[in-house]
Structure 1
Amino acid sequence: MAIPSESRLGASTNGDLINRVQQLRLDGQLGAGKGSGGGGGSWLPWVLCGLLAITWAGVGVRSYKNTGQKTDDAPGGAPTGTPAASTGNAQAPQPNGVPAVAAGELVTQLKGNVIPSLQVTVSPRDVAAEITEIFFAEGKRVKKGDKIATLLDHQYANRHNTEIASVAAAEAQVTRAQAGQTSSAAKVAKAKSALAAAEARGTRSIAIQERATKDFDQARQQRSTGSIALLDYQRFDADKQAADADRIAANADIEAAKREIEAAEADVKTAAANTKAAGADLNAAKARCAEAQRLVENCTVAAPIDGTILTKSADKGALVSPMSFNVAAGICLIADLSKLEVEIDVPERQIMRLKSGQACKLQADADPSREYRGVVDRVMPIADDTKNVVKVRIRVYLPKAEQQGEFLKPKMSITATVYNTPFAFDRDKDLPWGDEATKK
């Protein structure tokens, strides 16, 4: 049950407690001397709260306006004094929701890094051996075909000598097979001559047989009439039998000559096959010899492109093997520093504003006063989902008067400012890449 306040105060051991509480009341103190009313001084806290609320509201409105004036296109801020810094020409958004950028205005300003357009890791091709000599140092410029290093080639040289001997043996086999083919052809000719002789004997035996048969038939008729002696009859009979035998022998000789021809022709085919096989073996031996010679030549490592040595991966005495995971494969890294690019990470919400062919201003952190001309070359076909960005490559055009690698170097930090202006190649100032005609 609620107890009246008067009862509670009366129950206090200190009778003046109510007076002390009234003295501690802020409104009573603040309102002292301001009037006879008890609530006349309570307006001041409310005024202070109101002023504080108005102040915070002003700060919030100003912060909101400043945030609205900032653009996502230039997170780093546009360079002072450039037309792109002006926000007075704000454009309506495009149909896809991306705000349009007026011609000549700043599209974006982002940090990036210099990368070579052409970079090659130099390593021996198909050979694994110890490095015997090194002919380069970091920063050295080389031409395509210049000697970079030499490898120990004893193993490959011995293999090459072995293959040379194999070629010589294969050539001897080809010569032998060709001689056998010639001998077989001679046998065929000899067999054909024997056949011709046998056929001639057969023709003569036929003629003799026919004459002997006629003489025997006549003698037999005469014998039946008794007009011929028995001895003569027997002689004609013997002549006929001899003619028949000669005919059989002649036919046998003809058949034998034909078999010899067939055998000789088979030998010719065999000899031709042997010659072909020997020729194939010779070609295989020559191919192995050429491969062995190529491996010997690959023990001399040459520069694959014109460029500058960036890094050294191995030195004299090191074992290099492009076919092993546990042994170093590369000898050095070479790049063409006359053709450099800047790679920037563009947020996905800005990527639709960048197009190939837009002009760029490039400034290295090492010396921001040096400006380079560039052009958006390509937007990479895949995004980075870990950072929600898309990589964009900007082609750098070095001044003709500047030596390649003199200032701009790979991995340097670059501030890239992209403008919505078509890039125009200047033949008098820009060092060409060689494909400007195809970029139009």
Structure 2
Amino acid sequence: MRRVILTFAVALYAAGAQAQSTALPEGLEGLGSGTGPILDATSAAAIGEDTVAPGTGAGPRVSGFLEMRHAGRLQNDPLQGDAPLSELRFHLDAEAGHDVIWTLAVDGILDDVGNADIDLRTGEGPIDLREAHVFFRLSDRIDVRAGRQILTWGTGDMIFINDLFPKDYPSFFAGRADDYLKAPVDAIRVSGYFDVVNVDLAVMAPGQTDRIVTGERLSFTDPATGQPSATAPRLDRPDGIETALRLYRTFGSWEGALYGYSGHWKSPAGQDSQGRGIFPRLNVLGASLRGPLLGGIGYAEIGHYDSVEDRDGTDPKIANSEWRLLLGHEREIAQNTTLGLQYSRTKMSHHDASRAALPMGAVAVPELRDVATLRLTRLFLNQTLQASAFLLHAPDHKDGRIRLSANYDVNDALSVGLGLSKFYGDRDTPFGQFRDASALSISARWSF
């Protein structure tokens, strides 16, 4: 950690000196500041649907940031070190072209915790390639973006139903910025804008799965033993391309969308005869609606998960089909204060058949899982200080996560932050298994 802080301090001092010598005229300072990764992917609700084509085509653009981030555990984890995260990150975002726009976003990482080997699939190692794609227009109504990119759609805040693009859970749980919850995907995306309906079609390369917890930074509960583990699970990665489709249009001040997906479960949802985690085939059909309601913004989303390899629910080694529903509302409850509430329910299909097929002594998965969230955001000091509290609670399992954060913009280039991540629940619950990862984090980011 000392090496990370010292390196960051030296780099920040040099950058500050350069910024002073190249200051923009008064009133133009903000035009040169970058915002890090193009996508602030906490959720579609926070960033809006991903409908705007990247870039302006106005000429070459280079931006980025230098960030120091450290998270210290609030309790001892006998299988891990004191810090789930301790890194110095340099993010570079470059774009060039006019009719054809080339985009590159890459992170260089000096990491005291993670693996030293480069792995672009998991994002571990000293290099993480976030984006490398080309954008062009086939016509006035059809755009194409091909290559590594970050895709998102849907309505939820940290709850994803029809967004079947990869997530990076180790980054998010360890304490990185919310931007890094969404993992990059190698894909071709075609977008069409028509009078009757707008269309998004994404065709993804094989093996585009979630970045899951593997024991490198965070311990988890081994389902076979019920005990904490830091040993990476054995996985059989899926093959075959995936396709995701969205049809959307506005109805007055409301936007409606229909979704379709054909691919595989994004996280392990089964086990093969050798005990390896597998990603069975999956089809999803869904819909969403979002618009003004009760003085704020209301939204609803639903999706049916068709587990192709276990449609009748009788294979205990493969996840059942299920229905997922999300209802949400957000509004400004006072000046500079926003409150967001969500309720989500997942209902397993063929629950009785699934329970009857279990081996003697095995515990059945509950038919229902409810999740409620609350997000409270408050701006202070002329909106230079943002404080946020996010609570996710699952009443059935009595587990969840509390995430508190405060970020202060010292000036147009420098921001500092403080965060708290607290997991709770029994070790055999989805969130309780990570309770030893509860941590306090600090960060400082200089953008250019």
- Normalised by the size of structure 2, how large is the TM-score? 0.18
Which entry has the higher C-alpha Rg, 1 or 2?
A: 1
Which structure's residues are more often strand, by fraction? 2
- Where is the helix percentage greater, Structure 1 or Structure 2? 1
